[in-house]
Amino acid sequence: MTNNSNLAVSNPSADVDKDWWRGAVIYQIYPRSYQDSTGDGIGDLPGIVSRLPYIASLGVDAIWISPFFKSPMKDFGYDVSDYCDVDPMFGTLADFDELIAKAHGLGLKVMIDQVLSHTADSHEWFVQSRSSRDNPKADWYVWSDPKPDGTPPNNWLSIFGGPAWQWDTRREQYYLHNFLTSQPDLNFHNADVQNALLDVCRFWLDRGVDGFRLDTINFYFADKQLRDNPPLTAEERNGSIAPRVNPYNHQMHIHSKNQPENIAFLERFRALLDEYPAATSVGEVGDAQLGLELMSEYTKGDDRVHMCYSFEFLSAEKLDGERLKDIFTRLDKVDQGGWACWALTNHDIQRHTSRWSLDEKGRRAYAALMMCLRGSLCLYQGEELGLPEATIALEDLQDPYGIEFWPEFKGRDGCRTPMVWESGNKNAGFSEGKPWLPVSDEHVPLSVDAQEKENDSLLHYYRKAIEFRKGQEVLIKGAQTQPVVEGDVVSFTREHNGQKLFCAFNLGAGKASVQLPDGEWHLIAEELGACNTCDGKSAELDANQVLIAKQV
């Protein structure tokens, strides 16, 4: 672990906005693919620094940077070998300090990924843990003797395929890995493990970060008794977070994750964050069956994580009006006063433009919808450009998940290809060297410089949509009624401090009528292509058109 004893970073003053995260727009950066500053074909921290003015120009509140820590990169940074240092391919701690300073100077908060549930097998903790059964870190990971016949202790499966147990010849025991065999799971039942991870978080908070995105937040604890997971029926497997061809879908993972002990750790984590007045957190809830329930449970009150996102909006099933209504109805049933953070796409999921076969109008309609929902939201790099999923040839594939399940599932590389900055330059301005993944030919015409020149581009639309959201306090803090669905139109009302907004979205391919609630309403958001003609009671929307009205 890198020493930071000589680092003097003052904590934020007590008069900062502690609730800046509530309703915030957070921009996710996948550093390998954002901007390369050295010509090695891999994006890095100085590259991100050079692009911060662009990010600030979008109007977002914060950035979330995927892992840049030291790592063997078998899972591209989500296998950490040193939590408190920067991998040389991404730069140095000094580069990170510069990033923090420049981002804050531009009014951007900085959130970083924390992968706390597991480490790389090359991490010094695991190297010591596997060396014997009686060393000081022997119990820092989840170890188990085999069954009498030599097989693993239970039926748990890895998300990346096969059993979730790997035999270790040094200890003659199995260790748990919910992901790659090279990603052993930490034993959160050990208080020393919790303390060490909280020290890691403090290291980065002292360095000036404004919060964390917590990877696989519901995977921290495993059942102490290591009981078998029950099976799922074929019908129950629908909507799993794993691809259809993955056997992981065949179980209800009630013992390998989602354990009740997680709450106490999250409360310890929150107590640490509360020492830093402006620090926040967003957890990734990886569960198809219990995502909304866990999201609500983990964020309720003021002593757990601030917000979570689940996979409902990341599903292959299109987010039409009925699905949106169903999600918010389910959320209302389990709501405990928590806070959601919505995302349409990220570094693990096929881009929603391709996932839902959206045209240009559809991309705008969903952008506007996101800006009007109660909760915070994450945008993934290139989403503001309307990038589709890139096609990656088998010989160019890097993702071990995709390699395992090719060709039925092609992995995550298609959403991780380099950002396209300059249509006329080599590799679209991403790198002077050969990119680690190919720049998509389909992406180049959608590059930042091309869209900057077009006043009506999707990039400018995102800027307007974010500006509109930030200009309406009711969209940041207001309550939301349950969505109402009439044909292809979904609508709801936002209300705060006596102000009301009525929001309606035609998510269909044809024209549709919408009825306004009783009262007097003034149509707004014309800059978003919203309907601007109404007889006071109803209006007709074109395909993928929105209507936003403010009560007079």
Question: For the domain that residue 500 is a member of, what is the CATH number?
Answer: 2.60.40.1180
Do 201 and 101 fall into the same domain? Answer: yes
Virtual CA dihedral for 442, 447, 451, 457, nearest 10 degrees? 40
Do 111 and 59 fall into the same domain? Answer: yes
Taking only the tens place, the pLDDT of each residue in 490-527 is: 999 999 999 999 999 999 999 999 999 999 999 999 99
Is 363 domain-assigned?
Answer: yes
Do 356 and 463 fall into the same domain? Answer: yes
Which of these ranges, 194-203, 332-341, 365-374, 517-526, has the smallest mean pLDDT? 332-341
Average pLDDT of 230-252?
85
Is 158 domain-assigned?
Answer: no
pLDDT at residue number 383 = 98
Q: What are phi and psi of 359, to 5 degrees?
A: -90, -175
Do 531 and 407 fall into the same domain? Answer: no
Q: Is 303 a catalytic residue?
A: no
Helix axes 262-273, 191-206, angle to 10 degrees: 30
Do 442 and 492 fall into the same domain? Answer: no
Do 421 and 527 fall into the same domain? Answer: no
Is 236 domain-assigned?
Answer: yes
Confidence label for 206 from pLDDT (cuts 50, 70 and 90): very high
Cis upstream peptide for 146 (omega within 30°): no
Is 8 domain-assigned?
Answer: no
* Distance (Å, whole) CA 378 – CA 376: 7
**Domain range for 324:** 25-117+191-470
Is 179 domain-assigned?
Answer: no
Do 400 and 533 fall into the same domain? Answer: no
Taking only the tens place, the pLDDT of each residue in 122-162 is: 999 999 999 999 999 999 999 999 999 999 999 999 999 99
pLDDT: which is higher, 312 or 289: 312
Taking all residues of the chain, what is their mean pLDDT, rounded to a whole number?
Answer: 95
pLDDT at residue number 240 = 66
Taking only the tens place, the pLDDT of each residue in 23-37 is: 999 999 999 999 999
Do 466 and 488 fall into the same domain? Answer: no
The residue length of the chain stands at 552
Name the active-site residue from 215, 284, 287, 312.
Answer: 215
Name the active-site residue from 192, 275, 441, 473.
Answer: 275
Element of type H or E holding 450: helix 448-452
Domain boundary (452, 470, 488) is at 470
CATH of the domain at 49: 3.20.20.80
Q: Is 215 a catalytic residue?
A: yes
Taking only the tens place, the pLDDT of each residue in 442-460 is: 999 999 999 999 999 999 9
pLDDT at residue number 10 = 38
* Distance (Å, whole) CA 492 – CA 482: 6
Do 496 and 451 fall into the same domain? Answer: no
pLDDT at residue number 239 = 60
Do 453 and 399 fall into the same domain? Answer: yes
Burial of 357 (0-12, 13-18, 19+ CB in 10 A): exposed
272: Cβ–Cβ under 8 A, 6 or more apart, which residues? 198, 201, 202, 205
Is 465 domain-assigned?
Answer: yes
Report the predicted TM-score, pTM, of the whole model to 2 decimal places.
Answer: 0.95
Do 438 and 334 fall into the same domain? Answer: yes
Q: Domain count of the chain?
A: 2
Do 263 and 321 fall into the same domain? Answer: yes
Domain boundary (450, 470, 490) is at 470
For the chain, percent of residues with pLDDT exceeding 70? 97
Say whether pLDDT at 238 is over 80: no
